[in-house]
Structure 1
Amino acid sequence: MAQRITTLVMLIEILFLVNYVSQIATTAADNDGDVIHVAGKVMCQDCTQSREVVMAQRISTLVMLIEILFLVNYVSQIATTAADNDGDVIHVAGKVMCQDCTRNYDKWINGSEPIKGAVVSITCMDERERVRYYGSDKTDERGQFDLIVDKVLYGGKNLKPKLCTVRLVSSPDKSCDIPTDFGNGQSGVKLVQPFMVFKDLVKFVVGPFYYTTPMCETPEYENNY
């Protein structure tokens, strides 16, 4: 939320900076130069709109964006709270694909192939950072996996999805078994934003995650050289 507000403040500052630079350029045009060179287009524009009206429209648009930002944040908080409190089952779906960096750009971006039998894990912690659940699933022929976790632990305590992490474990394809962090598959994805919340089910969609070929692996050097 702090990052979003910072970005918004930066946009406001840019808006005023553009207006200030425009005024400086106008003053310089009046006082400097020996030749006047004019180029442009002929367009239809409502001449009744004054500079103040245009600025008011920009401010109105900015206010609307601020309202949308807070609305999105509010809805996100509601969904996260619902994910923690509703549903008896955590359901996580996604895909694991093979991406070959040796291909041309189009095939590298759009030509990824599903990996069958890749293992994806889910680890759920408690507030004291202790592991409370660990599970895994293998992908099918379409590269899809489905992790299903009961939220209620032994003793009646509930798992909180936001404390669960989903990540890549292994690929059975030796020609494509180098994990990448596209989609945060290697570092892990926190279950923060649910895809949907039902009475007895909370569903998340992550990824897709990617493995790549050994030729695409980034070499590691000692002392970071």
Structure 2
Amino acid sequence: MAAFLPFAILVSLLAAGATADNGYTTPTTPPPQQSDKLLVRVEGLVLCQSCAHRNSWRLDDAAPLPGAKVTVTCRDGKNRVMAWRAATADGSGYFLAEFGVTAVTDFFTGDPRKACFVRLLASPDFKCNLLTNVNSGLEGAPLRDEDKRWPGQGYDNVVYAAGPLAFRPATCVPSHHY
């Protein structure tokens, strides 16, 4: 009978609702309600690639390219262009393009990350104006979801990111003297 005493105590404690965490429980929060409409914003950086890394995807020592232009294109459910925006980089090379409130189902595959892409358009700097395909700036840079989402009034605000994208100098001084 003495062998069953600890088991009896355990059973009675469990029946009373005792837990190993001294009765403390972690509050559970419901997952955020996702709307069927989105206000999509796309952000990124445009840089001037250094001569030391031309013909590569490296952006070490790259400088912001103020005034650079990019286009953001989104496709609809039938894979046709449904909207596009041109965006201009600010003094730090940052750009932001905003689309109006759109039903999620209007985007190709119902996902703006798969329906939209960013391409380099133009550089205001004649010393750094050759397009590169760094992060697919020529082909169309895909969007990344960086968990920037908050509710609006009947829609969700979402900010996706692309890039960084880069132009490269038209001419570079040779690094070797022969």
Regions of 4+ moved over 4 Å: none
Q: Indicate yes or no: 2:100 matched with 1:144.
A: no
SS at match of 1:187: coil
- Residue ranges of structure 2 left out of the alignment (5+ in a row): 1-33, 173-178
Q: Indicate yes or no: 2:70 matched with 1:120.
A: yes
Q: What is residue 145 of structure 2 aligned with on the other side?
A: 194
Q: What is residue 204 of structure 1 aligned with on the other side?
A: 160
| Alignment TM-score, normalising by the size of structure 2 | 0.62
1:135 CA drift (Å): 0.7
Query: Counterpart amino acid of 1:203?
Result: V
Q: What is residue 31 of structure 2 aligned with on the other side?
A: none
| Alignment TM-score, normalising by the size of structure 1 | 0.50
More strand by share: 2
1:157 CA drift (Å): 6.4
More deviation in 166-175 or 120-129?
120-129
Q: Is the 8 A contact 1:86 1:202 kept in 2?
A: no
Q: What is residue 215 of structure 1 aligned with on the other side?
A: 171
More helix by share: 1
1:180 CA drift (Å): 0.8
Q: Distance in 1 between matches of 2:169 and 2:36?
A: 41
1:151 CA drift (Å): 3.8
SS at match of 2:135: helix
Q: What is residue 165 of structure 1 aligned with on the other side?
A: 117
Task: Give the root-mean-square deviation of aligned CA atoms.
Answer: 2.6
Q: Is the 8 A contact 1:91 1:149 kept in 2?
A: yes
1:201 CA drift (Å): 1.0
Deviations 1:99-158 (A, max 9, x none): 122479xxx7432111111111111111322111011110011000011112427xx963
Q: Is the 8 A contact 1:98 1:210 kept in 2?
A: yes
Q: Distance in 1 between matches of 2:77 and 2:59?
A: 39
1:91 CA drift (Å): 1.2
SS at match of 1:124: strand
1:202 CA drift (Å): 1.2
Higher relative contact order (CA 8 A, sep 6+): 2
- Number of equivalences: 127
Q: Is the 8 A contact 1:86 1:201 kept in 2?
A: no
